Structures are given as C-alpha cells and as structure tokens.
Amino acid sequence: MTTTYAGNAKVSRRIFLIGGAAAGSLLPAEEASARVKLSKAAVRFGAPSADGRDCRSCKLFVAPSSCMFVEGATEPNGFCWIWSRKTA
C-alpha cells in the first residue's frame, strides 16, 4: 500500500515504519530512557486511602521514600491516583 504525500512522493507503510525505527535508534540511550516525573499536586498525593492502599503496597514505590513517577521524596504511607497494586 502506498500513500501520496506533498510533492507526490509515494512512500509505502513498510518503508515509513522502517525509517521511524531507524531514526529512533539514533537517540542517545540516556535521552530515550529519560522520564518526566509528575508533581505531587498533579497526582493528588496525600493520606492513605480508606481501603488501605498506600505507597508501600504500590509497584511504583522505590523504598525508602521515592516513586518512579512522582518527583521528590514520597512518604511510604502516602497515596495518589496513579497507585498500582504491587504483585507478589
């Protein structure tokens, strides 16, 4: 399947995807793995939920006081809306 773009150049979907993959591989590793962290206000960080969910039981929590997605120190007994159950 080919698609016509501006300038009447025809590019197949396969060539487009291969080009995108090749371009992505040129990014430095540290840029590719960089992750923007969210503020505590953005994730509504606060007291643990009524049903016992807190940072210690979240798979995003990194002991002793960090989170993969929230900037700054987080309290182990805190809770936010991106909480995700830690699997055993």
Percent of the chain with pLDDT over 90: 50
Q: Is 80 exposed, middle or buried (0-12, 13-18, 19+ CB in 10 A)?
A: buried
| Domain extents in the chain | 1-34, 35-88
User: What is the average per-residue pLDDT within 40-48?
Assistant: 92
pLDDT of the residue at 32: 47
Q: Which two tokens stand for residue 60?
A: 């995003």
The CATH number for 35-88, chosen from 1.10.940.10, 3.40.710.10, 3.60.15.10, 4.10.490.10, is 4.10.490.10
* pTM of structure: 0.58
Q: What percent of the chain has pLDDT over 70?
A: 66
pLDDT in tens, 53-83: 999 999 999 999 999 999 999 999 999 999 9
